[in-house]
Structure 1
Amino acid sequence: MKSHSSTLLAEVRSFRQNHPDVRYVDLIALDIPGHFYGKRYPVEMLEKVAAGSPLKLPQNAVLLGAQGGLFKIGDYCFNDGDPDANRRLVPGTLKPVSWEAQPLGQMLITSDGTEAPIEFEPREVLAKVLERLQHKGIHPVVAFELEFYLFDKKLENGLPQFARDPLSDDADDQPNLHIERLSRFSEVLDDMAQTAKDQGIDITVITAEIGPGQFEINFGHCDDGLRAADWAALFCRSTRGVALKHGYRASFMAKPYLQFPGSGMHVHVSLYDAAGNNLLAAHQQQALRHAVAGCLELLPHCMPIFSPNHNAFRRLGGTVNAATRASWGFEDRDACVRIPESDPRNLRIEHRLASADANPYLVLAAILAGLEHGLEAKREPIAPLNEDRSSGTDFPVEMLDAVRAMQQQPLLRDKLGAEFVDVYCENKRQDHLAFQQEIHAREYRWFL
């Protein structure tokens, strides 16, 4: 513990020396819907926390709904006295914030690794899965890919407007994959990439996607699953901030336009043993087939994680590369679980179902739980799409059905934690019901 505190203290002191104009640091963590919450600390107080002073925030901050409200979930929120819970600083995440008007820093905090972790905190859920895999000699290597849209900064009647091409000042309203779009939006994209790198995120490939104003950013493969998910979470925060600085809105909303492709979160996962052997390649890739079968078996019960809101379900079965059934295939982007072409050393799965606004900690935890189950059960998967284009199993496509399927799955309750599953499902159920408590203009057009 003393060594850990000295490392954190050295990190904070180095940051203060390199950024003497920074007076405050945002201490942030991701809640269940995937929003950051936290506190803004004077940097001198942060040094005391790094030295061992307690860091406490309300436990129930993790339970906030999509709009920030509190729901009654069991005894949480209204019958528990709203207690504080200990958090800790995540080493290596103290970085400058360049998109704010004033000099600022930010640093991740978490309850995992504390004396009493919060069972339903997303980072803690993933930490438990990774710890269990490590005890079994399984070491994941992970890479996220995130799609997002750029919109004009100003909304019109609450609706997003196409981003304007900075060279022509015309709306970027044509779906295409042209690389020239990277050049036309290079100023904001380059700033996004550099800002992410300044946050310690390993940014690799940038792609112009099919939708107007849509882009994809890939991250490097990381042998620390928590860090890989940290990168995805922090990238969303910095990208939204940089976009506003340049006169745009960046959004990871799953389906902002019905007529154009949605935005996904693709996760590449390979599994290795302690000697560095790829476990999926074992026995002439039989282990890969077992892992795929486990992923597909649990997938229908993880839909509230992969599609965490009403809009995310709109993305399924969309215009391109969005599956409508649990399926797999080799080099097939119509599949939920794609096997990219690679040598045995780099053999991996690409899980393509999650929406870009899903919680990266929970998405990775659910994927790893499926892979773990598959390696243990050793079942054969259904036929790949390469052999049978109609292959696949149904999954829920409405939130309340999805919540029921998740809450009643004993394997998922065991692997992700029963308390987390109950809390998460009730959070999603309440969010969905709250979303329905508004009469939209379409109802008046149809029924008035």
Structure 2
Amino acid sequence: MTQETASSFAAWLAAHPEVTRVEAFLTDVNGAPKGKWLVRDKAVALAAKGLPMPLSVFALDAWGCDVAGAGLAFGTGDPDGLCWPVAGRWSKAPWLGEDSAQVFLGMVDKDGGPVVADPRGMLQALLARYAARGLTPVVATELEFYLYRLENGVPVPPDGNLRRNDTLSTTALSAHAALFDEIMALAHAMGIPADAVISEAGPGQYELNLLHRADALAAADDTVLMKRIVRALAAHHGLGATFMAKPYGDCSGSGMHIHASLNDAAGKNVLAKPEGGPADMLLHAVAGLLAAMPETMLAFAPNYNSFRRFRPDAHAPVSASWGIDDRSAAVRVIVGDAKATRIEHRISGADVNPHVAMAAMLGAMLQGIEDAVMPPPAQDPLHPGAGAPLPVEWGAAQAAFAASERAAGMFGARFRDIFLACKQQDRAAFLGQIDRFEYDTYLGLL
């Protein structure tokens, strides 16, 4: 953190004397917020001295338990790192009360660099490699989610109807107009470039579109903050909001599509020819994405529920394929003018950690650009499924990730192993549970 950032945060607090409580948080490998509530004086001190938190806060399983295999909590003394505000990422947090604010943190090591376990810091390190080549990723996300209410402890659509398909329905938008107006207003107040809300195929399912940013770190931060806004404001309207990949077994899954192009120092999109259309560098990036995808599936589908999305003909590709304006492909190349030509990555579920998923995409693109290899021919949209099969089972995805030198090259071997250990602990816990459906199926049969 720079002194300028510290001064800016302190000045913002001074300009908002009504703020008496600040939620200071970072995100763990799951993308879950972890942090502290600070009284005003402590928040002022944060700007000057930083905020200690244990390094192990990043390496937690889905239930918030320490992960021994990550090597951060046990046998180390569980030491602290020092957290500082992320530049410009503080704002009022009205869902916590009119006297409340939030500040997004990053953790640094004793040399002032990002700690190895911080997903945000890991993406920051990857972007430095792009900067060394004179390139700047321009990134946007499309984020799907479900609104729901609980009925006997089980989620159901707000109107209770599980059969309806509301794709692009304006009636479905109108039903929650007040909520969406509040979401968009608060997003804009926080500097998040949200520009559209869309009703999606599932009952109570919606999509938020965030505009392209020539700052991939900020784009990932936007997505983290957008999730916080949606959940918090939905709760104020008496609803739940979930970014689970597949909350209903027979309804559409929720994805997080990532769009990316690359600008040079002059602001020119190097993925496009001057007259428009894909340049060789775009094709090299596509080749890198296809090569890395089977090995890095865990970054795009990190959870048990993630893999329920991946079914044939379900808009969640099951092979490492690419195509021109082909939504059945894992990598969709969108051809436009020299500015608009870009890559859309269509694998990620909405349940990902945005910093990890974005690093996996951009890291694979960079590997492809460095290798300068051409991809295979684009798939025929009438016969989708070209390309290597993806590991669409959690254990297989973990095994591929564990052995992946490509993943180590993108994330750093240490972060790869920390992330993997957390997901392995999650999987072990799920394997230890037997649900009612399994008993109903086998108990009397076998």
Partner of 2:204: 213
Query: Which amino acid in the other structure matches residue 369 of structure 1?
Result: G
2:364: which partner in 1? 370
**Structure 1 residue 49: Cα displacement:** 2.2
Any unmatched runs of 5+ in structure 2? none
Kept in 1, the 8 Å contact 2:244–2:351? The answer is yes
Task: Tell me the alpha carbon deviations over residues 115-143 of structure 1, each in whole angstroms, 9 at most, x when there is no partner.
Answer: 25321210011001001110111110000
> Of 59, 62, 83, which residue of structure 2 is paired with 1:63?
59
The aligned residue for residue 13 of structure 1 is: 11
1:148 aligns with 2:145: yes
Give the 3-state SS of the residue equivalent to 1:117 in structure 2: coil
Q: Which one is further off, 111-120 or 225-234?
A: 111-120
Corresponding residue of 2:264: 273
Aligned twin of 1:237: 228
Deviation at 1:6, TM superposition (A): 4.4
The count of aligned residue pairs is 437
Judging changes above 3 Å, is the alpha-carbon distance between structure 1 residues 49 and 442 closer, same or farther for their aligned structure 2 residues?
same
* Matched AA of 1:105: A
Aligned to 1:225: 216
Superposition RMSD in Å: 1.8
Match of 1:167 in 2: none
Deviation string 1:374-422 (CA, Å, 9 cap, x unpaired) is 1111212122123753422111111121111112121221221000111
Which of 403, 406, 415 does residue 410 from structure 2 map onto? 415
Distance, in Å, in 2 between the alignment partners of 1:431 and 1:102 is 37
Matched, 1:395 2:385: no
C-alpha distance after superposition, 1:130-170 (max 9, x if no partner) = 01110111110000110000001xx2343101113xxxxx7
Shift of 1:367: 0.5
1:424: how far off? 1.0
Contact 1:261 1:318 in 2 (8 A): no
Other structure's SS at 1:160 match: strand
- Cα distance in 2, alignment partners of residues 399 and 162 from structure 1: 27
Aligned letter for 1:44?
D
Does the 8 A contact of 2:166 with 2:203 survive in 1?
yes
| 1:97 to 2:75 alignment | no
3-state DSSP class of the match of 1:279?
coil
Q: Which moved more, 1:434-443 or 1:90-99?
A: 434-443
Residue 22 in structure 1 maps to residue 19 in structure 2: yes
| 1:76 corresponds to which of 44, 50, 72 | 72
Deviations 1:200-243, CA, capped at 9 Å, x for gaps: 21111111111110000000110111110000001101110000
Superposed structure 1 runs of 4+ greater than 2 Å apart? 4-18, 100-103, 155-158, 170-173, 385-390
Return 305-314 or 188-197, whichever deviates more: 188-197
**SS in structure 2 of the partner of residue 342 of structure 1:** coil
Query: Cα deviation per residue 1:318-369 (whole Å; 9 max; x = unaligned)?
Result: 6531111111111111111111231122211010100001010011101011
Q: Does the CA contact (< 8 Å) of 1:163 and 1:172 recur in 2?
A: no
Offset at residue 180 of structure 1 (A): 1.8
Distance 1:34 1:446 in 2: 35
Matches of 2:77 and 2:385 in 1, distance apart?
52
Instruction: Give the direction of change, closer, same or farther, for the CA distance of 1:322–1:75 in structure 2 (3 Å limit).
Output: closer
Q: C-alpha separation between the residues in 2 aligned to 1:63 and 1:6?
A: 30
Given that residues 246 and 253 in structure 2 are in contact (C-alpha distance below 8 angstroms), is that contact kept between their aligned partners in structure 1? yes
Query: Alignment partner for residue 175 of structure 2, among 181, 184, 190?
Result: 184
Cα deviations by residue, 1:222-270 (Å, 9 ceiling, x for unpaired): 0111110000001101110000000110100000112111000011000
CA distance in 2, matches of 1:7, 1:81: 31
Asked if the contact 1:162/1:173 (under 8 Å) is kept, the reply is: no
Query: What amino acid is aligned across from residue 316 of structure 2 in structure 1?
Result: A
Distance in 1 (CA, whole Å) between partners of 2:133 and 2:148 is 45
- The residue aligned with 2:244 is 253
Instruction: Report the counterpart of residue 290 of structure 1 in structure 2.
Output: 284
TM-score when normalising by structure 2: 0.94
8 Å CA contact 2:318–2:385 kept in 1: the answer is no
Whole-Å Cα distance in 2 between the matches of residues 84 and 93 of structure 1?
22
Tell me, yes or no, if the aligned pair for 1:112 and 1:127 is still in contact at 8 Å.
Answer: no
- The residue type paired with residue 182 of structure 1 is L
Name 1:339's counterpart in structure 2.
333
Whole-angstrom distance in 2 between the partners of 1:36 and 1:341: 37
Question: Shift of residue 5 of structure 1?
Answer: 2.4
Structure 1: distance between partners of 2:357 and 2:201: 24
- Once the two structures are TM-superposed, the CA of residue 97 in structure 1 deviates from its matched residue by 0.6
Match of 1:314 among 308, 313, 317: 308
